[in-house]
Amino acid sequence: MPPTHMSSTSRALYRVFIAPNIRSTISIPLLYVPAFAPSAANSVSTPPLTSRTSIRTKVYAKDTRRHALSDSYTIDSAINAHLINLVDEEGSFHREVPLHKALSSFNKVTHHLIQVSAGKVDEFGNPDPEDVPTCRVISKMDLRAQHERKLESMRRQSKSQSSVKKMMELNWAIAGGDLKHRLGNLKRFLNEGKKVEVWLGPKKRGKLATPEEAEGLIKALLDAVAECKGAREKKREGQVGGVMTIVFEGQKVEKKAEKEGQKTEKEGQKTEKEGQNTEKEGEKANGEAAEARAGNT
CATH number of 80's domain: 3.10.20.80
Measured between alpha carbons, how far is 219 from 172 in angstroms, rounded to an integer? Answer: 12
Task: Name the residue type at position 74.
Answer: T
Mean pLDDT across the chain, nearest whole number?
A: 76
User: Residue 238 and residue 136: Cα distance in Å, rounded?
Assistant: 58
| DSSP strand pairing (232-238 vs 83-87) | unpaired
Structure letter (DSSP) for residue 204: S
> From CA 231, how far away is CA 32, in angstroms rounded?
79
Within-domain flag for 214: yes
Of 31-35, 149-153, 205-209, where does the model show the most confidence? Answer: 149-153
**22 domain-assigned:** yes
For 53-80, the pLDDT digits (tens) are 555 444 444 444 445 677 788 888 888 8
Q: Which residues pair with 135 in a beta bridge?
A: 86, 115
User: Would the pLDDT of 129 be above 80?
Assistant: no
Domain limits at 231?
Answer: 164-249
285 part of a folded domain: no
Residues 183 and 120 reside in one and the same domain: no
**Residue bearing the bigger pLDDT, 137 or 279:** 137
Same domain, 85 and 149: yes
pLDDT tens per residue across span 172-187: 988 888 999 999 999 9
Q: Rounded to 5 degrees, what angle do the CA atoms 262, 263, 265 make?
A: 65
Q: What residue spans of the chain are helical by DSSP H?
A: 8-13, 19-25, 64-72, 99-103, 140-162, 176-191, 211-226, 256-296
Name the domain boundary from 113, 140, 159: 159
Q: 77, 152, 81: which is closest to 108 by C-alpha?
A: 77
Q: Would you say residue 95 has pLDDT above 50?
A: yes
Q: What is the pTM of this model?
A: 0.36
